[in-house]
A and B are shown apart, each in its own frame.
Chain A
């Protein structure tokens, strides 16, 4: 896997002629986590789809290591970008290993079957996400946290330098949210992945992201270090409610609270 930068320049995107994102400029470097935050409906998921290349930008370009995603075939794209969504509505009867093996799709031609090497890569990805013991279990029997880790393993099996994540913790409890993001952090450090992650929970963002982009109705309101972005002024402007930010008593990162 070659480390590569993900660069969105002047991106405008949307559905059916309606622009949801306008003038998006972002740069995610290998070994860093950039979090996208903002209220519901500002276009976080649209941004992830556009960065994945499955939604074509109407203006601007998404480039990975200098290559425009719009010029690549689906398989070539999937070798450069993997996407982890919420582990909901998965077809339940496949085994966890079957699911992870599907991460090898971009490396297989129409008539090809998965080989021994694909199996090794899949099992290795499962080791790293601590899902190897679940390999033969149907995903319907797994807990939400386990399923989410299986999806991360599937993304790892794609062996792509860029990983996009769309609310991967939204349906998990506190412990699993924490474990999930620690795992992502570890993968970023070990592999030099570049991660773009859409997250709701600002306190998780404060702890796990290197940089934050705050989205407001389709444009980037402000981008920078968590301490620079997660401020009462910026957050109040975008979320439209009064927000307090304190220093976390243990690790000193921003702690975001609502209320009068």
Chain B
């Protein structure tokens, strides 16, 4: 692990913080970002109206309709589904990144870097090429295919990257790069062969939320809820796993079962995110890093906080993507990469001096 440590600048902050602080901070950030995301757009809805529109939906509460008539349609049919889908996607990517990093005992593991996102993408495109989703059932098949693609990828990466009993950072990343390239190439080929719907698929590939409406939220919610709940149970086992397989076994952990549940849950949420939002890089890498930097490496807090922060991070990136070149919209994946790559390089640069792994 000595070489891995050079890649991680993270140290727990020594100043004692109140225990509630991270929770309040991440939840407030999520609410704020969600409200902004719903409010901002080609036609901006004042935050006050957003709140009043939402309050009007609460049974037993009467709110005078002091907003233009089209606000309700924009908010409920266009903005909110988009906001919720982005939030769920960010949560999925943040949580799965934290879980993969704990599983591989490697701060660079992330659904994008280890190739799971591309594998999921290939699965999703195969499903879309076979039958472009027009109804709920067709749509539900896409995350299932993405999940299968993700599982196959993570199995191959794990088998190849494993040297003896550990998973060194270099083999992990190289295996991820190779598989990612392969899956992306296959995806491109399939998209070129099935000319119809090509531009929709291309937009999807770079992380645009092109589907719209509440259907993607309805379809992805069961997968995401199940996967995220499973991730939340993994905090203590993943902490024990940080001591290595041998010690974890000696401490009475069912190591194989923990790994299996982690891979299944993290891949399920990552694949669902990819199926509806395309491949969005760096969220699963940056968000857990920031959480560890601020609040330490304990997975019992890291996983839920990475889920919460992942939601607000992607909402923020999406707001930037929509506002930067308005009225044109950038795909959100462009924003996360433009922000994420330099952030990642900055982390590497910082790591050169004082080193503390995990």
Interface residue ranges, A against B (CB under 8 Å): 49, 52, 54, 73-79, 81-83, 85, 89-94, 98, 102-103, 105-106, 108, 110-111, 113-114, 138, 140, 154, 158
- Type the 1/0 row for B1-45, where 1 means its CB is closer than 8 Å to any CB of A: 100000000111000000000000000000000000000000000
Q: How distant is A54 from chain B, measured CB to nearest CB, in Å?
A: 5
State the CA gap A154–B250 with chains docked (Å). 11
Cα(A126)–Cα(B249), bound, Å: 22
**Docked CA distance A98–B358 (Å):** 14
Q: Are A105 and B356 in contact (CB under 8 A)?
A: no
Is the CB of B329 closer than 8 A to any CB of chain A?
no
Whole-angstrom CA separation of A140 from B1 in the bound complex = 14
Given A91-B358, A102-B243, A78-B252 contact (CB < 8 Å): yes
A93-B11, A111-B233 given as contacts; is B247 within 8 A of A85 (CB)? yes
**Is A98 a contact partner of B356 (Cβ separation < 8 A)?**
no
The reply to whether A78 and B251 contact each other, CB–CB distance below 8 Å, is yes
For residue A92, give the distance in angstroms from its CB to the closest CB of chain B: 6
| Sampled A-B contacts (13; CB under 8 Å) | A54-B246, A74-B249, A78-B252, A82-B250, A91-B357, A93-B296, A93-B297, A93-B356, A94-B298, A98-B298, A105-B240, A110-B233, A113-B236
Per-residue A-contact encoding for B256-285, CB less than 8 Å = 1, 0 else: 000000000000000000000000000000
Q: In whole angstroms, what is the CA distance A158 to B248 when docked?
A: 13
Task: List B residues at the A interface (Cβ < 8 Å).
Answer: 1, 10-12, 105, 233, 236-237, 239-240, 242-244, 246-247, 249-255, 296-298, 300, 356-358
- Determine the chain B residues whose CB is within 8 A of the CB of A138 once the complex forms: 12
How far is it, in angstroms, between the C-alpha of A68 and the C-alpha of B1 when the chains are bound?
35
The 4 A-B pairs of least Cβ separation, nearest first, read: A78-B252, A106-B252, A91-B242, A75-B252
Partner of A92, one of B244, B247, B252, B356: B356
Q: Which residue of B lies closest to A85 (CB)?
A: B247
B11: A residues at CB distance < 8 A: 93
CA distance A6 to B239 in the complex (A): 30
Residues of A within 8 A of B105 (CB): 91
- A110: nearest residue on chain B (CB-CB)? B233
Residues of A within 8 A of B12 (CB): 93, 138
Within 8 Å CB of A89, what residues of B? 1, 244
Nearest opposing residue in chain A for B292, CB measure: A93
- Inter-chain CA distance A85–B250, complex, in Å, is 10
Which of A54, A92, A108, A111 contacts B250 (CB under 8 A)? A54
Evaluate contact between A102 and B240: CB separation under 8 angstroms.
yes
Contact of A106 among B251, B296, B297 (CB under 8 A): B251
